[in-house]
């Protein structure tokens, strides 16, 4: 996901997709919206997970399993290193914080981008006859 994408550009993409969905047949629309309601993620839930929990739990919510594992492992390593009084492990923790801060501040946008991409994939699949 790109933090630098202007929100207006995302809104334009969402509007274009809505217009394309309106061009589907009734049965296709029904399938689209049924699948979309199953797969879309709530931006507020993503933001709350990002804000409230350490270790990248919010990545699980958006199905970014690899990123979750990497962050979780780095967090555990950093905590163990700090408990063992190894101050350089604080750099790992600082790096995680610096990596997570933009995700915290742009959580709503990240979830909307995710939802747009999921909706686009659903649309393309249904349009191709899937």
Using the predicted structure, report yes or no on whether residue 38 has a pLDDT greater than 80.
yes
pLDDT attached to residue 36 = 95
Candidates 66, 68, 39; CA nearest to 53 is 68
Rounded CA-CA distance 120/20 in Å is 10
pTM to 2 decimals?
Answer: 0.86
Work out the percent of the chain whose per-residue pLDDT is above 70.
Answer: 97
Residue 99 burial (10 A CB sphere; 0-12, 13-18, 19+): middle
Q: Residues near 111 by Cβ (< 8 Å), separated by ≥ 6?
A: 41, 42, 43, 46, 47, 62
pLDDT digits (tens, 9 = 90+) for 55-104: 788 999 999 999 999 999 999 999 999 999 998 999 999 999 898 888 88
CA 48-36-107 angle, 5° bins = 25
């Amino acid at each position: 996901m790109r933090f630098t994408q202007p929100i207006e550009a995302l809104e334009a993409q969402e509007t274009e997709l809505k217009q394309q969905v309106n061009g589907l047949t009734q049965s296709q629309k029904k399938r689209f919206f049924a699948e979309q309601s199953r797969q879309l993620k709530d931006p507020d839930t993503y933001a709350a997970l990002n804000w409230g929990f350490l270790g990248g739990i919010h990545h699980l919510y958006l199905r970014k399993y690899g990123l979750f594992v990497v962050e979780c492992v780095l967090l555990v390593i950093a905590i163990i290193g700090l408990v063992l009084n190894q101050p350089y492990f604080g750099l790992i923790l600082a790096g995680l914080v610096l990596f997570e801060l933009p995700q915290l501040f742009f959580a709503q946008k990240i979830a909307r981008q995710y939802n747009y991409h999921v909706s686009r994939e659903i649309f393309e699949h249904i349009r191709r006859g899937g």
